[in-house]
Structure 1
Amino acid sequence: MSRFFPLLTVFTLSTTSLVRAEWRQDTVFIQRKDDTTVARHPGNDAILFSHADPQLAIEWGLRNVTNTVVLGGTYTVSDRIDIPRPGVTLIIDREAILRLNPEGRHTTIDFRSRNPGYWQILPMIYNKGHDDVRVLLFGTIEKWKVENEDNGKQTLPIMFDGRNEQGTCGLSGGLLMVTGHATDSFWLVDAERVRVPVVALDTNPLASLVLEGCEDCHLGLIASIAPEQGGNTEETIDLNSRNIDITIERLVGERSQEIIDCNESHVVVQDVVSIGRPRKMFGRGPASGPRYTDRRPFGSRSLDVRNTSILHDAMSSRLVHEVPELPGALPSFTVQTTVEVTLRNNRRKHYQRSAHFDLRGKPAGRGGR
C-alpha cells in the first residue's frame, strides 16, 4: 500500500513583460560543438557566441538573455560561473556535467573556520547580490578539492550570497531547485524571500542545504537519502546561524546524525520524516559558528516542528526524479521528486513534491508559495 504526500507549485521563469511567443528570442541553449561551447536560440542553428571555455559561454548567455539552458555534455570551466545580473534563469540539463579545470585561475571566497585563512571556497555557480535569480540543477556538479599543510581549496555547487556592508539581506527573491547530483552542500547566505521547492540528494553531504543570515525563505522538500541500503546520513538541513522566519514543508533524513541543526535561528517545519531511527532528530542551541554571514547575532532560537514520523521498519529508500527532457519539453514543464521508502512486507510510502515552470510570461495556473 502506498501513501502519497503531493504538493505542487507553479513558477514563471521569465519577466511579465516577456510576450509568450517571444520566449525563444529571450532564451539560449548552451551546448558543446567539437572543442568549443556555443550559444544558440531555440530552433535556430545560427551561433550567437562561441568559446573554448564553457564558463564564458554560459556567462554570455546570462548577460544577454533571460533564460540560459545548458544542454547535455561535459563542461570543464576555468573558474566559477558568476551570475551577472538580476532576474535571470539558469537551467542545467540532466545530462550536463560541470567540472572545474584545476589548472585555471580560480576566484575564491573566504571560509571562517577554526583555522582562519586556511580554506578558500569556489562556488561553481555563484550569485553575489542579484535579486530574483533562478537556478535549476537537474545535472551534475562535480567536486574538486586540494589540501596541504598551509591551505586548502575546494568547490561548492551553488551559493546565493547577499552579504553587504550594511549587514542586511542584500539579495531578495529567486529560486533554487536541485534534483541533480552533487556531493556538497548548497548555500543561501544573507538572502530573503528565496524559494526552494526541492533539494534532494542521495550522496550524503554534510547537509543538503545550509542557510545563514536568511529571512522569510520558504522551503519545500529537503531530503538527504543514504547512498547505500541501510546506510546513514549527516544533516538534512543546517540552519547555521541568524535565520528568521524560515518555513519548511518537509524534511526527510535517513538514520541521520541530525535531521535539522537549528542554531540561533527561528523556523517552522510542517513535517519531519526519519527513515530508520535517527542518531539525533534535532540539534539546537542559541550559540552558532557562522561561516559566512555578516548579519548581527541575536542570541535566540525557536524550532517549531508540527509533525514527526520515524519509519522504524524501513528496509530501503530511493529518490525518483521526474525532470524534463530538454530541449523538447520547453517552454513549460513540471518537475517532481519522490522519496520512496520500502517497509517490511513490501509496503511503500511516497513523499512527493512537484513544481511547474514556464519560460513564458504568464504562469499556467495557480500555485502555493
Structure 2
Amino acid sequence: MQKLANLLLSSNDKLSLFVFFGLLSLDSLADWKDQTHLISKDGEECVVRALGNDPVLFRHKDPQRCVEWGLSNGLNTIVLAGEYIFDDRIDVPRPGVTLIVDEGAVFRLNPDTKHSTISFKASNPDYWGMIPFIYNKGHSDVRVLMFGELVKYRWETKERGRQTMPIIFDGRNTSGDCGLSGGMMLVTGRATDSFWLIDSSDVKVPIVALDTGPGASLVLEGCEDCSLGMIVNLAADPGGKSGETIDLNSRSIDITIERLIGERSYEIIDCNESHVIVDEAVSVGVPQKLFGRGPVSGPRFTDRRSFGTRSLNVRKTTVLNDAIEARLIHDVPTFPESLPQFTVKTTVEIDFEGNKKRRYSKAVQIDLRN
C-alpha cells in the first residue's frame, strides 16, 4: 500500500509540475505578444499596432514618434517594410527594450527639420555635429537589430557641418565609467557610415557586415568586456578596396572578437590605446595594411580616462592573396511571421580563379521571450 501511495503521489506531483510549467509557458507566450508592437506605413502617416492587425494604437506623420511610442509602451518594436522619413533621431526611451528594423524598411532624415546632434570633444565642438539615426543614451540591455537601410544625410558649410550616423550606444556619464551595460547590436542592413559603441560594457555585437565602403564598419571608444562576433567591411565595388574593418579609437579594454574580414583593407583593425583579442583576421586580397597600432590623436567622444597602453593579440591571420572578389549573403527572418524566435545568418562568399569559393559564416539565434 505504501508503494502504491508513493507511486500515486509521484504521479500527482508530475502532473502538477506539468500543469505548472505549462501555465508558465502560456504566460510567457502571452507576455511577449502583449509586449510587441508593429510599425507600418498608412498612406502619409505611420501607425502602431499590436500583433494580429489589431486596431491602431498610435498614429503620427513622423515615424520617430511612432517608434518611440512603441518602445515606451512595450518591450519589442518591429518597424516593417516601407520608406520612413524622420524629422529627428530615434531616442531609445528606456532600458530592456528591443528594436527591429525589417529588411524592407528604409529610413531617411527630413533635411528641412531641426536635428539633435552629439559632438566630439574638440576646441570647437559644434563645428561638426553627428545625428545618430538610432541613439541609445545610457540605457542598459537594449537590443537593436538592423536589417533595413539607413540613408546617409550630410550638410556642410565653411563654418559647420552635420551628418547622420546609423546607430550609437552612448554610455558617457559624469562618473567617467561605462554608463550602460548589456544589450546587443546586430547589423545585416545597409548603411555607408560606421556603427558606434561609446563607454559601454558587456554589449554583444554578433554581426556587423557592410559592403558599402564605410571608413570602418564598427567603432569602439571607452568600452569594456564587449564580445564581438563576425565584423565585415567589404569593398563597395567588385574587387575594390575597403577602409578599416574595426576601429578601436581609444580606451577600450577586454574586447574579444571572433573574426574580422576586410577586402584589400586600409587596415583590418586600428587599435589605439585599447586591449583586444582577435581569434582570426581574414584579408580578402592583399591588404594595404593589416593592423594599426597608433597613438591616440584627434578629438574623441569617450569620457573615460586615458590609460596610455595597448595590446593587440591576433591568434590567426589569413591572407587570401589570390581572391578575386567577395560578397555578402544574408539569411534574415520575415516579420512578423518568424516571431518570437528566429535565426539570423550572414555568409561572406569569396571567389577565386577556377570557380573556387570559400565561405565564412556566422549565425545568431534571437528569442523575444528572453
**Normalising by the residue count of structure 1, what TM-score does the alignment of the two structures yield?**
0.92
Distance 1:240 1:211 in 2: 6
The alignment status of 1:235 with 2:244, answered yes or no, reads: yes
- In structure 2, the partner of 1:169 is 178
CA distance, structure 2, for counterparts of residue 64 and residue 274 of structure 1: 44
2:3 aligned residue? none
Say yes or no: does 1:26 pair with 2:26: no
Hey, what does 1:312 align to over in structure 2?
Answer: 321
Three-state SS of the structure 1 residue aligned to 2:71 is: helix
Q: Distance between the aligned counterparts of 2:198 and 2:236, measured in 1?
A: 27
In the alignment, structure 1 residue 352 sits paired with structure 2 residue 361: yes
Within 2, Cα distance between the matches of 1:264 and 1:67? Answer: 36
Take 2:43 and 2:295, find their aligned partners in 1: how far apart are those partners? 54
- Mapping for residues 118-157 of structure 1, pairs under 5 Å: 118-157=127-166
Q: Report the residue type matching 1:110 in the other structure.
A: S
What is the alpha-carbon distance in structure 1 between the residues aligned to residue 26 and residue 161 of structure 2? 45
214, 217, 224: which one aligns with 1:215: 224
Superposed CA RMSD in Å reads 1.4
Cα displacement (A) at 1:113 = 5.3
Q: Highest relative contact order (Cα 8 Å, sep 6+), 1 or 2? A: 1
Specify the alignment match of 1:78 in structure 2. 87
Partner of 2:205: 196
Q: Deviations over 1:79-130 (max 9, x none)?
A: 0000000000000000001110011121111124586431011101000000
> For the residues of structure 1 that align with 2:307 and 2:238, how far apart are their CA atoms?
41
Taking a change above 3 Å as real, the CA distance of residues 106 and 18 of structure 1, as seen in their structure-2 partners, is farther
- Which residue of structure 2 lines up, in the alignment, with residue 268 of structure 1? 277
Partner of 1:12: none
1:66 to 71, 75, 79: 75
Amino acid at match of 1:92: V
- AA aligned to 1:62 is L
What is the CA deviation profile of residues 218-276 of structure 1, one whole-angstrom value per residue up to 9, with x for unaligned ones?
Answer: 00000001121110001000000000000000000000000000000000000000000
SS in 2 for 1:256: coil
Q: 1:115 to 1:310 in 2, by over 3 A?
A: farther
Structure 2's unaligned 5+ residue stretches are 1-24
Q: Distance in 2 between matches of 1:285 and 1:34?
A: 51
CA contact (8 A) 2:120 2:299 kept: no
CA shift, 1:360, in A, is 1.7
Name the structure with the higher strand share: 1
- Partners in 1 of 2:333 and 2:26 — Cα distance? 25
CA positional deviation for 1:344: 1.6
Q: By how many angstroms is 1:290 displaced? A: 4.7
1:181 alignment partner, one of 157, 177, 190 = 190
User: Contact 1:264 / 1:288 at 8 angstroms: preserved in 2?
Assistant: no
Structure with the bigger percentage of helix: 2
Distance of aligned partners of 1:67 and 1:139 in 2 relative to their CA distance in 1, 3 Å threshold: same
Sort the Cα spacing of 1:113 and 1:314 in 2 relative to 1 into closer, same or farther, 3 A: farther
* 2:352 pairs with 1:343: yes
Structure 1 residues without counterparts, runs of 5 or longer: 1-15, 362-369
Distance in 2, Cα, partners of 1:58 & 1:295: 31
Contact 1:225/1:253, CA 8 A, preserved across alignment:
yes
With over 3 angstroms needed to count, the CA separation of the structure-2 counterparts of 1:18 and 1:236, relative to structure 1, is farther
* SS at 2:193 equivalent: coil
- Structure-1 separation of matches of 2:161 and 2:44: 31
Q: Distance in 2 between matches of 1:20 and 1:246?
A: 35
- What secondary structure does 1:356 align onto? strand
1-side partners of 2:186 and 2:130: how far apart?
21
Does the CA-based 8 Å contact 2:249-2:296 persist in structure 1? no
Name the count of aligned residue pairs: 346
Larger deviation, residues 113-122 vs 52-61: 113-122
Deviations 1:38-83 (A, max 9, x none): 0001113310000111100000000000000000001101000000
Q: Greater shift after overlay, 299-308 or 32-41?
A: 32-41
3-state secondary structure, aligned to 1:19: helix
Aligned-partner Cα distance in 2 for 1:290–1:331: 42
Partner Cα separation in structure 2 for residue 175 and residue 114 of structure 1? 33
Q: CA deviation at 1:215?
A: 0.2
The amino acid across from 1:69 in the alignment is I
Aligned letter for 1:103?
D
- Secondary structure of the equivalent of 1:314? coil
Aligned to 1:102: 111
Question: Structure 2 residue aligned with 1:246, among 232, 247, 255?
Answer: 255
Larger-gyration structure (1/2): 2
